[in-house]
Amino acid sequence: MSDRPSVPRPGLSRRTLTKAAALGLAGVLTGAGRASAADVTVTQLGSRTYDLSVPSAALGRTAPVRIILPSSYAARPDRTWPVLYLLHGAHDDYTSWTRETDIETFTANRDLIVAMPDGGPTGIPTRWKTGADYETFQLQEVPAVLRSGYRASTVQAVAGVSTGGYGAMAHAARHPGTFVAAASYSGIPDTTETTMPTIIEAIVGRESLNPLSLWGEPTLDAATWQDFNPLTHASALRGTALYISVGSGSLNGGLAALIALAQVIGGGIGALLPGVLESLVAPSTQTFVTALGQLGIPATQHLYQGGGHQWSDWKREFTTSWPVVAEALGLPV
């Protein structure tokens, strides 16, 4: 979870239109940069990187998706490509993976499309009780655009940081067979573990949103909370390649953890140090991997000492997880 940056949004240029047309992006661009397929606006950011503005019925608005195309995309017009979805965390946005990691360079010679869809200000890509349906946006609307306009195949993997890690496990568990691999880095794969509802409500509240607008009240609406909890559907992950990691953070439990939790309850989650926040969310991953073990579901797990809720750790974990993801996608490591 990090503060949302201010990122300039470049407009469409003649080079953008020419390059997009040459690559066959989303059909033929017409008018004010509108694509004939799915009415998607395309903005070129680099030789392989584009921002799509996707009209979404599920969200009731137009939402952004950043994509990175394979280096040989234009040279191989007859083939389709597997897709890796990368989900952002809370108080951040869809630009975070290209801003904080070397994902463009890392995937330069790898035959896949990378898609980074908007997950909203909380980065919790779910069907909100009173609000937007990010689950449908990410699982149905975005893939439809990529398949119709960008030659994406149905072979997909998903990975995310923080609340995006929740999203990766929730998407894979609630919709078995949709993804061949799922990876969570410092995620929240058990949303009802002890203090997790309090932390999740604090994340929602920090964005000046009503916590009840997510899944309702944790006790009165327990069935809804459980339905959207990846742990509830963990058995459906059998056959999906899994990578799950989290650090222990900087707290050793006891009084320090209680003080930190009190700060969260008081609305101070944004002021927590990365190591403290990692300690608070770590139990969610720990209970999740324990449940997978009890179910006999294989998972590559990395529960490491120290670390923090921060990109310096997540970048390392993504690289470490790549062999798991690549094998599932049918790509060389």
Which residues fall within 8 angstroms of residue 35, CB to CB, at 6 or more apart?
Answer: 25, 26, 27, 28, 29, 41, 42, 149
| Sheet containing strand 181-185, strands side by side | 29-30, 34-35, 41-44, 49-56, 61-68, 113-117, 81-87, 152-161, 181-185, 241-247, 300-304
Higher pLDDT pick, 23 / 297 = 297
**pLDDT tens, residue by residue, 60-87:** 999 999 999 999 999 999 999 999 999 9
pTM: 0.90
Q: With contact defined as beta carbons under 8 Å apart, do 40 and 55 qualify?
A: yes
Structure-token match 């040459």, residue found:
22
Helix (H) or strand (E) holding 251: none
pLDDT above 50: residue 12: no
**pLDDT tens, residue by residue, 188-209:** 999 999 999 999 999 999 999 9
Q: With contact defined as beta carbons under 8 Å apart, do 121 and 33 qualify?
A: no
The residues pairing with 152 across neighbouring beta strands, listed in sequence order, are 81
What pLDDT, on the 0 to 100 scale, is given for residue 15?
40
**pLDDT tens, residue by residue, 210-243:** 999 999 999 999 999 999 999 999 999 999 999 9
d(CA 2, CA 272): 11
- Residue 107's nearest CA partner among 75, 159, 142, 68 is 68
Tokens, residue 229: 């909890």
What pLDDT, on the 0 to 100 scale, is given for residue 268?
76
pLDDT above 80: residue 7: no
Share of the chain above pLDDT 90, in %: 80
Average pLDDT of 115-119?
Answer: 98
Average pLDDT of 290-299?
Answer: 98
- Residue 151's nearest CA partner among 37, 29, 17 is 37
SS3 (DSSP) at 136 = helix
Return the exposure string of 28-42: e unless at least 16 CB atoms fall within 10 Å of the residue's CB, then b.
Answer: ebeeebbbeebebbb
What band does 54 get if pLDDT is binned at 50, 70 and 90? Answer: very high
E-strand spans in 170-259? 181-185, 241-247
State the chain's mean pLDDT as an integer.
Answer: 89
Q: Are strands 49-56 and 41-44 parallel, antiparallel or unpaired?
A: antiparallel
What pLDDT, on the 0 to 100 scale, is given for residue 36?
35
What pLDDT, on the 0 to 100 scale, is given for residue 33?
33
